[in-house]
Structure 1
């Protein structure tokens, strides 16, 4: 068991030949959050109350039919699942049509960006089992113009100060399911942090959805703190509201 947990990985820059497996990893890594998001939403007391009320309505309208009650309650649960799926699938499709559409151009050919994959030796053959990306940003690209570092023990920062600082934005942190809990996520995170240090970035930031509790815990262990939260998932605002999915911004000063 110790050998399994101490499995060694090699992390290298993305190659064009990795495209198929990277796209597959990305799709699986995004859509796997649908079920946790659904269970998190449907277990909320408000949704439980609504489901019970709808089931009761079905029971009454169906002439004391338990089947009708179950059908109405299931319809509400199915609607919540659809909202969760739409949010994550929409995010996935947007990224596939933007930065992920051409990794070579959008990451490797730009000096401020980086994209890496993690390889493991499987029966004598190298297999891509994880990935992470960093995109360099300028201070003026920070949304909102003015930042507040209350979570970092700091004070309000002027827009001019922000313009003088560049930072890295991490995305696409994915580890294939069979290779989790083997320290690979930590190794990919360290790669991103080292890259930011080499490029003189003042901090590393990332956005993550609230149901990704395991990933949030990992980032917190690395010293990341939450600096913001919003419900703008670019889906219908009612979808986000009913799915109870928030986008959390976390960052770590380097």
Structure 2
């Protein structure tokens, strides 16, 4: 089956093309850095939770009342903050490790050698600065043919140029050309930039859930979104 290739705009500072094996190192680098960028916002989110603030306040007051030492209280809070920062990073690092052990261990095999799948990169100045993948949903709702958007990421230095929107449009066009009725994806409540992008492009929220006990405790939900083609 012929592969869909996004058109290069003469005015854009980038172009989108199909992934090649020589892109692997750059793709992993962009993806890893993009996911780890969420660690600071996760830490800030967890820090502002009422239960976290109560814990920090309770520990400090207890140490002051029992041990009579403000220094001990400050040191304890400092180490609790370090622990919280460490915990905030583990889910994102674990997610990257899981992706690199599953579909991204061999992108060509996962996305280019299978039916109705593809993986694209955005290139600027001969440098890979973004990526996105698409695979069919294995068990879609009855009467629907759904494509799932995966691994959207753009280098922080190249945001604000419309690259993420162009990558999403590439997936939408690919799915439309293959006769799919919907494009679906998952994101999180922390990824507000991504949420804003998807909603502005016509995606609609269809559900939400906690992906793990950690995310439940941190009160960070995974959001399910869907774009339905008018003809469907």
- Counterparts in 2 of 1:233-252, with a 5 A limit? 233=212, 237=213, 239-252=214-227
SS at 2:104's partner residue?
helix
Q: In the alignment, does 2:67 pair up with 1:62?
A: yes
RMSD: 1.6
* Shift in Å, 1:7: 4.5
**Structure 1: which 5+ residue stretches go unaligned?**
1-5, 143-161
Residues 36-73 of structure 1, C-alpha deviation per residue, up to 9 Å, x if partnerless?
Answer: 1110121123322221111212323432x222122222
The answer to whether the aligner puts 1:131 opposite 2:140 as a matched pair is no
Whether the aligned pair in 1 keeps the contact of 2:35 and 2:92 (CA below 8 Å) is yes
- Output the CA distance in 1 between the equivalents of 2:86 and 2:220: 13
Match of 1:202 in 2: 181
Q: Deviations over 1:106-125 (max 9, x none)?
A: 1001121110000112xxxx
Find the partner of 1:94 among 76, 91, 98.
Answer: 98
Taking the aligned partners of 1:73 and 1:30, their CA distance within structure 2 comes to 27
| TM-score w.r.t. length of structure 2 | 0.89
Shift in Å, 1:164: 3.3
Contact 1:80 1:242 in 2 (8 A): no
Aligned counterparts, 1:170-209, within 5 A: 170-209=149-188
Given that residues 206 and 226 in structure 2 are in contact (C-alpha distance below 8 angstroms), is that contact kept between their aligned partners in structure 1?
Answer: yes
Report the equivalent of 1:145: none
Match of 1:157 in 2: none
Structure 1 segment 1-254 matched on structure 2, within 5 A: 7-63=12-68, 65-121=69-125, 126-138=126-138, 141-142=139-140, 162-233=141-212, 237=213, 239-254=214-229
TM-score relative to the length of structure 1? 0.81
> Residue by residue, what CA displacement relative to the aligned partner does 1:85-133 show, whole Å, maximum 9, x if unpaired?
1111111111110000110111001121110000112xxxx11100011
Do the aligned residues in 2 keep the contact of 1:55 with 1:73 (CA within 8 Å)? yes
Which gives a bigger RCO, structure 1 or 2 (Cα 8 Å, sep 6+)?
A: 1
* CA deviation after TM superposition for structure 1 residue 194, in Å: 0.7
Structure 1 residue 76 displacement after superposition:
2.9
